[in-house]
Amino acid sequence: MQLAVWTYEGPPHVGAMRIATAMKKVHFILHAPQGDTYADLLFTMIERRNARPPVTYTTFEARDLGSDTAEIYKRAVIDAVERFSPDAIIVGASCTAELIQDDPGGLARAAGIGIPVIPVELPSYTRKEHWGASETFYQVVRHLADKASIADRPGPDGRSSCNILGPSALGFRHRDDVVELTRLLRDIGVDINVVAPLGAGVDDIRRLGAATFNVVLYPELGETTARWLEREYGQPFVATPPIGVAGTRQFVEDIAKLLDRPLAAAAASNLPWWSRSIDSNYLTGKRVFVFGEGAKAAAIASVAADELAFDVVGVGCYNREMARQVRTAAQKHGVEPLITDDYLEVEAAIAELQPELILGTQMERHIGKRLGIPCAVISAPAHVQDYPARYSPHVGPEGANVLFDAFIHPLVMGLEEHLLAMFREDFEFNDEAGPSHVSHGRVSVAQGQETAAQSMPAEISLTEPETHATAPGETWSVDAEKELRKIPFFVRGKARRNAEQFAADHGHSTITVDVLYEAKAHYAR
């Protein structure tokens, strides 16, 4: 039994819904109790889709359990096929239906509906959303792809073409990433054969084999399928994330290597100059914590460190499937990787590290709000406000521009930062007011820390209560507390922790102004 307050990922059948909803004329018949229909609102509300997800639920109730839930399933299949006339159906069960073992695959096949039936096993008690999406996409491709399409592959002298694998419904920026990546690939002289699952129909899946190679845009969702296509269809794949200027360059180089020919240049990004312009000096060495989907988090950490000159003080992911990439990234930045799906553990890590900026998910946005640390959302899970109306990709040249803007938006700008530090007691212009261009008020740092201090011990966690790093003895002198307030808010939390640690290590029971500055000198970077 795992105790959870919030979850980063839904159950695997939600992953299967993301595939069905992404595709055209593919219907998902889900054996599920009444109530599981809540999942529709993920798509209609969070992603603002203007149509119901193509999902029929059996919504069985307790009274049905005694009679024949299998019959209910079979009828649901027949009714859904008649009503929606899909080209193929995906059939599966949610967590409760898994327990009653009705075999949706067998029932749907027995219904004799004359269209392809794609059964998916979605083990709810061991797997999660990404796994469910990846597995469903893989099964869709295995059942529908037609090997004969290999004959349509461009010859060695023609233009090359690729499939883009991975984009799905409810994906973070997937809609815009596909547009940007399509543009990038055309610019370098590569045609797109099929994008899947987003926007793909049964016929599109059938002709996957006609591409020279595959691009795995999101490894969480597309890599299993790409590996199968590599094995069965002889299609190599590129999984380099085209994120950031270097990532995009590497992506193009990897394709050139794969095709063994030079490619046209990709469009340039504004990021290099924006980062070099002197206004960006203040970004140097900002301490940033990165957390999200593994592949994304690893790529974002590189952009932060190499393209904005931030210091990455922590990197992690919630999906264990991507732990390897994140460990490699952590090693590169000289930090400990944080692989966990327990958001309280993430909160504890952030509170401990006191970064100046968090690049994370919706969960970390809330953690940041509580701790008074600015946050930009770079990964799912995300709320409705992170599904923007404007074109806002994260990949390719435009993606690099978007990332630059997204990272610096929550921060106080350079000169403003200096003025705040110079005239600390200005009653109108002080750091508790937050960045002047961000209208909603910041939680004052003092207040934020109090909230954190009050709430965290009261929160529940699977891990045993941590023993605090500092001895319980040392207290702050009034003068030192006052002096601490003169330190800019974005490093104040760190200064407080450093001073406490320093006092504990050096046997000071009271933290005076002197101890505070000794600690500052001790930890000077």
Active-site annotation, residues:
279
- Which positions from 211 to 250 touch other proteins by CB under 8 A, shown as an x/- string? ----------------------------------------
Cβ at position 355, least distance to other proteins in Å:
19
**For residues 374 and 397, which CB has a smaller minimum distance to other proteins in the complex?**
374
26, 39, 196, 380: which one binds other proteins (CB under 8 A): 39
Partner residues linked to 194 by β-bridges: 163
67, 281, 455, 510: which one binds other proteins (CB under 8 A): 455
Q: Does 14 bind other proteins (CB under 8 A)?
A: yes
- Which positions from 354 to 383 touch other proteins by CB under 8 A, shown as an x/- string? --------x---x--xx------------x
Q: Does 65 bind other proteins (CB under 8 A)?
A: yes
How many CB atoms sit inside 10 A of residue 441's CB?
9
- Which positions from 464 to 503 touch other proteins by CB under 8 A, shown as an x/- string? -x--------------------------------------
What separation in angstroms does the CA of 409 have from each of 298, 359, 419?
Answer: 21, 12, 18
What separation in angstroms does the CA of 497 have from each of 108, 286, 411, 516?
Answer: 60, 17, 22, 10
Cβ at position 42, least distance to other proteins in Å:
6
Q: Does 459 bind other proteins (CB under 8 A)?
A: yes
Cβ at position 34, least distance to other proteins in Å:
4
**For residues 51 and 521, which CB has a smaller minimum distance to other proteins in the complex?**
51
Measure the CA–CA gap between 25 and 463, rounded to whole angstroms: 46
Question: Is the peptide bond preceding residue 242 cis, with omega within 30 degrees of 0?
Answer: no
Q: Does 2 bind other proteins (CB under 8 A)?
A: yes
How many CB atoms sit inside 10 A of residue 152's CB?
12
Q: Which of 98, 100, 91 is nearest to 68 (CA)?
A: 100
- Which positions from 40 to 59 touch other proteins by CB under 8 A, shown as an x/- string? xxx-xxx-xxxxx---xxxx
Cβ at position 515, least distance to other proteins in Å:
32
Amino acid identity of residue 376, one-letter, is A
Q: Does 1 bind other proteins (CB under 8 A)?
A: yes
**Residues 6 or more apart in contact with residue 346 via CB below 8 angstroms:** 291, 316, 338, 340, 360, 363, 364, 367
Q: Name the segment binding other proteins (CB under 8 A); options: 89-97, 166-174, 274-282, 517-525.
A: 89-97
Q: Which of 340, 286, 329, 332 is nearest to 309 (CA)?
A: 286
Cβ at position 252, least distance to other proteins in Å:
38
**For residues 126 and 439, which CB has a smaller minimum distance to other proteins in the complex?**
126
Q: Yes or no: say if 17 and 55 are a contact pair by the CB < 8 Å rule.
A: yes
How many CB atoms sit inside 10 A of residue 102's CB?
21
Q: Name the segment binding other proteins (CB under 8 A); options: 91-99, 110-118, 279-287, 311-319.
A: 91-99
Q: Does 444 bind other proteins (CB under 8 A)?
A: no
Q: Are strands 55-57 and 88-93 parallel, antiparallel or unpaired?
A: unpaired
Place of tokens 């910041």: 442
Measure the CA–CA gap between 333 and 524, rounded to whole angstroms: 19
Radius of gyration of the chain measured on its C-alpha atoms = 26
**For residues 6 and 429, which CB has a smaller minimum distance to other proteins in the complex?**
6
25, 37, 179, 512: which one binds other proteins (CB under 8 A): 37
9, 176, 321, 386: which one binds other proteins (CB under 8 A): 9
Q: In what order do the strands lie in the sheet with 357-360?
A: 337-339, 311-317, 287-292, 357-360, 375-377
Q: Does 94 bind other proteins (CB under 8 A)?
A: yes
- Which positions from 125 to 154 touch other proteins by CB under 8 A, shown as an x/- string? xx-x--------------------------
**For residues 381 and 434, which CB has a smaller minimum distance to other proteins in the complex?**
381
Give the total residue count for the chain: 525
Partner residues linked to 337 by β-bridges: 315
Partner residues linked to 161 by β-bridges: 191
- Tell me which residues in 67-86 interact with other proteins (CB under 8 A): 76, 79, 83
Q: Are strands 311-317 and 213-216 parallel, antiparallel or unpaired?
A: unpaired
Q: Is 42 left (phi over 0), alpha (psi -120 to 50) or beta?
A: alpha
25, 96, 430, 444: which one binds other proteins (CB under 8 A): 96
Q: Does 6 bind other proteins (CB under 8 A)?
A: yes
Q: Does 389 bind other proteins (CB under 8 A)?
A: no
**For residues 342 and 500, which CB has a smaller minimum distance to other proteins in the complex?**
342
Cβ at position 35, least distance to other proteins in Å:
3
Site residue total, other proteins (CB under 8 A): 64
Q: Strand, helix or coil at 150? A: helix
Measure the CA–CA gap between 80 and 314, rounded to whole angstroms: 48
Q: Does 13 bind other proteins (CB under 8 A)?
A: yes
Measure the CA–CA gap between 164 and 122, rounded to whole angstroms: 24
Cβ at position 20, least distance to other proteins in Å:
15
Q: What is the 3-state secondary structure (H, E, C) of 284-307?
A: CCCEEEEEECHHHHHHHHHHHHHH
Residue numbers at the binding site for other proteins (CB under 8 A): 1-7, 9-11, 13-14, 33-42, 44-46, 48-52, 56-62, 64-65, 76, 79, 83, 94-96, 99-100, 123-126, 128, 362, 366, 369-370, 383, 455, 457-461, 465
